[in-house]
Amino acid sequence: GENVEQHPSTLSVQEGDSAVIKCTYSDSASNYFPWYKQELGKRPQLIIDIRSNVGEKKDQRIAVTLNKTAKHFSLHITETQPEDSAVYFCAAPARGSGSARQLTFGSGTQLTVLP
């Protein structure tokens, strides 16, 4: 199947600093790019998404940028707080082992915000 690659796998920042997580995808037909946050012991939950007709989307302290030409998209968190500590997953539609396209998740980034 096609891949969604995510970097870094771990990220530590001081409270108040910014955090950036990057993902690349291989399927040029992909046009929907969500980001999920998973707190320890909890379910993954959608925090923001972007579609290919825009290059950037913001929601308070989080923003996502998309570069379709380069096939990468990034999550930006500003003014980080301890409650931002979690595992973050990017995702993009991709073809799996069969012919159906499905949302494929990156490998996750463990973000730790240090007080």
Partner 1 sequence: DTAVSQTPKYLVTQMGNDKSIKCEQNLGHDTMYWYKQDSKKFLKIMFSYNNKELIINETVPNRFSPKSPDKAHLNLHINSLELGDSAVYFCASSQSADEGNTIYFGEGSWLTVV
User: Where does this chain bind partner 1 (CB under 8 A)?
Assistant: 30-32, 34, 38, 42-46, 49, 51, 87, 89, 93, 96-98, 100-105, 107-108, 110
Shortest distance in whole angstroms from residue 32 CB to partner 1: 4
Of 14 and 53, the one with the shorter C-beta distance to partner 1 is 53
Dig out the tokens for 105 from the structure. Answer: 């998740």
Shortest distance in whole angstroms from residue 105 CB to partner 1: 4
Question: Which residues does 97 contact at the CB level (< 8 Å), separation at least 6?
Answer: 1
Shortest distance in whole angstroms from residue 48 CB to partner 1: 11
Shortest distance in whole angstroms from residue 30 CB to partner 1: 8
Of 15 and 46, the one with the shorter C-beta distance to partner 1 is 46
CB 75 within 8 A of CB 87: no
CA angle 28, 31, 32 (to 5 degrees): 135
CB 11 within 8 A of CB 112: yes
Of 84 and 108, the one with the shorter C-beta distance to partner 1 is 108
Of 51 and 58, the one with the shorter C-beta distance to partner 1 is 51
Q: Distance between CA 93 and CA 21 in Å, rounded?
A: 18
CB 55 within 8 A of CB 108: no
